[in-house]
Amino acid sequence: MSPATSSLNAEHALREPSAQYQPQCIPSYGARNGTVPRLAAHFSSGGSFPEVHVAQFPPGLDLALLNALDAPDAVLECAPDNVAESHDTQALTKHSKHTTFLPTPHAVCARPTIDDTSAALIKTRASILGKIAKKDMHLKVHAKAQPEFVKYTPSMRRGDTTSEASHRVIKLHEVQSDPLDPPKFRHKKVPRGPGSPPAPIMHSPPRSTNAKEQVDWKVPPSISNWKNPKGYTIPLDKRLAADGRGLQDVHINDNFAKLSEVLIPGCRGRVHNHNLYLFSQRRKN
């Protein structure tokens, strides 16, 4: 069957539904010319047939539901914000509708009650008083000092006074300041001044050194007994002088002398016996 004939058969089947052939199962791939899937058995395996260019949907499926993707929540019976509901996002505010971004009129907003206002006022007052109590002594709130009255008598020599009173009484009182105001002046620490001079150290008067003292104070250069990178030939007396061993007192233990006194008679007897042995061997030969 040619492709043109198959397309004509499919068009004829669409025009005459009563005459179209509906098999119980879909034929294999390549032999589906003229087949229109309409039964529930055709979609039982969950497959689709893209080579059949007709609308395909199982029977009983509401077409209005397919086109209701933009329908309100009442039709779909599900709200988009239900997806964001979880135990981790209970305390978060979720905006899933455009109406949540619109400004709310003041009439809708609930005004705080008198109890809420009083509780907030008490909490705010306690917080401010706590901050004031933590300030330094010069910033704390002190009791107001009593006002002072000063009598002022202007000079009559200039003649520029407009009042007929010969004296005035001026009332002086402290200006009330806010203890929470930031500091108005910048205090810079002055560097510490020099301390007292050190106590003088008493020295003996300088005196000249003789030749012996100069020799005693002469320190020989350091000579290593392990390294000689330059390859210099250094005499032994110089090495001993640099080593400092000549300045140490040598103490010989008396036990060495006692050991020598004990070993000398024994060595002499051994040598005498050995000589007798050699003399006897020569006489035998």
What are the tens digits of pLDDT across the range 226-268? 888 888 888 888 887 777 777 778 788 999 999 999 899 889 9
pTM of the model: 0.23
- CA 34 → CA 2, 9, 16, 21, 28, distances in Å? 12, 6, 12, 8, 13
- Least confident range from 92-106, 164-178, 188-202: namely 92-106
Q: What percent of the chain has pLDDT over 90?
A: 19
Q: Is the dihedral of CA 100, 103, 108, 112 positive or negative?
A: positive
CB 99 within 8 A of CB 81: no
pLDDT for residue 184: 85
- CA 144 – CA 172 distance, rounded (Å): 12
- CA 183 – CA 284 distance, rounded (Å): 126
CA-only gyration radius of the chain, Å: 61
- Least confident range from 34-38, 158-162, 164-168, 208-212: namely 158-162
Q: For all residues of the chain together, what is the average pLDDT?
A: 76
**In the predicted structure, residue 83 carries a pLDDT above the cut 80:** no
**In the predicted structure, residue 139 carries a pLDDT above the cut 80:** no
pLDDT for residue 182: 84
Q: Could you tell me which residue, 83 or 24, shows the higher pLDDT?
A: 83
